[in-house]
């Protein structure tokens, strides 16, 4: 009996810690409307990097550095991927991509509220979401509870891991950046 009570005490001691972390993440997300950050994205073993501005709900603007100088823009309904120097772009319904879920703050908060938080290192907490055939892992910093990245499959079914750095929260942005590109 004493052993059972000891185990129960230990479980109750640790559960509130994760519950508190989950509530801190939710509180931080509720206060967040705009995120600006640098990123490194690994797809199929290849790294790309750049900068992004994410504005809830469902808007994002990312500029990649490197050879292709790709631009990704979502206006909340569609997602455009444009190769900067070519003038060509590809347009997708946002709902057909995992970004539809990642860019929906209210959806994320409701999922996080119902999911179990997992600690994957001394620095990261994660939530695993399964929705519409998508598996999404979302990572948060254990100290400040900010978003630090995510893992999904991209539109070509390749594993995509995005790491965030130099995060800035709620800085003003010009909404014109979320206008979809037009052909040059």
Q: Which domains does the chain carry?
A: 2-178 (2.50.20.10)
The two structure tokens encoding residue 89: 């772009």
Model pLDDT, residue 89:
87
Model pLDDT, residue 114:
94
Lowest mean pLDDT among 79-83, 85-89, 135-139: 85-89
Q: Are 126 and 108 in contact (CB under 8 A)?
A: no
Q: Are 53 and 173 in contact (CB under 8 A)?
A: yes
Predicted TM-score (pTM) of this structure: 0.83
Torsion angles phi and psi, residue 86, rounded to 5: -95, -25
pLDDT band at 87 (very low <50, low <70, confident <90, very high): confident
The two structure tokens encoding residue 99: 């970004």
Angle between helical axes of 2-31 and 105-114 (0-180°, round to 10): 170
Average pLDDT over every residue of 41-47: 90
* HEC-encoded secondary structure of 40-100: EEEECCEEEEEEEEEECCCEEEEEECCCCCEEEEEECCEEEEEECCCCCEEEEEHHHCCHH
The two structure tokens encoding residue 183: 């052909």
- 120-145 pLDDT per residue, tens: 889 999 999 988 777 899 999 999 99
Model pLDDT, residue 2:
38
Over 50: is that where the pLDDT of 184 sits?
Answer: yes
Over 70: is that where the pLDDT of 11 sits?
Answer: no
Over 70: is that where the pLDDT of 74 sits?
Answer: yes
**181 vs 180 pLDDT, higher one:** 180
Average pLDDT over every residue of 30-49: 94
| CA distance linking residue 140 with residue 15, whole number of Å | 18
Model pLDDT, residue 155:
62
Query: What does pLDDT average to over the chain?
Result: 86
Give the residue ranges of DSSP H helices in 115-157.
none
Q: Tell me how many helices (H) and strands (E) the chain has.
A: 3, 11
Average pLDDT over every residue of 76-90: 87
Model pLDDT, residue 4:
34
Q: Which of 118-124's residues contact partners 24+ apart within 8 Å by CB, and which partners? A: 119/18, 124/148
């Amino acid at each position: 009996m004493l052993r059972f009570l000891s185990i129960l005490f230990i479980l109750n001691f640790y559960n509130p810690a994760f519950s508190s972390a989950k509530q801190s993440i939710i509180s931080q997300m509720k206060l967040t409307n705009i995120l600006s950050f640098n990123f490194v994205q690994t797809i199929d073993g290849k790294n790309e990097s750049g900068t992004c501005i994410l504005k809830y709900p469902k808007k994002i603007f990312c500029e990649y550095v490197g050879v292709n100088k790709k631009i990704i823009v979502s206006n909340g309904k569609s997602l455009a991927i444009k190769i900067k120097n070519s003038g060509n772009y590809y347009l997708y319904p946002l709902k057909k991509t995992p970004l539809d879920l990642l860019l929906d703050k209210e959806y994320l908060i409701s999922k996080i509220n119902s999911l179990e938080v997992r600690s994957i290192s001394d620095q990261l907490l994660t939530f695993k979401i399964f929705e519409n055939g998508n598996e999404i892992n979302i990572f948060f910093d254990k100290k400040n509870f900010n978003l630090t990245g995510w893992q999904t499959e991209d539109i070509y079914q390749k594993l995509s891991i995005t790491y965030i750095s130099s995060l800035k929260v709620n800085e003003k942005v010009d909404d014109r950046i979320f206008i979809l590109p037009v052909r040059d």
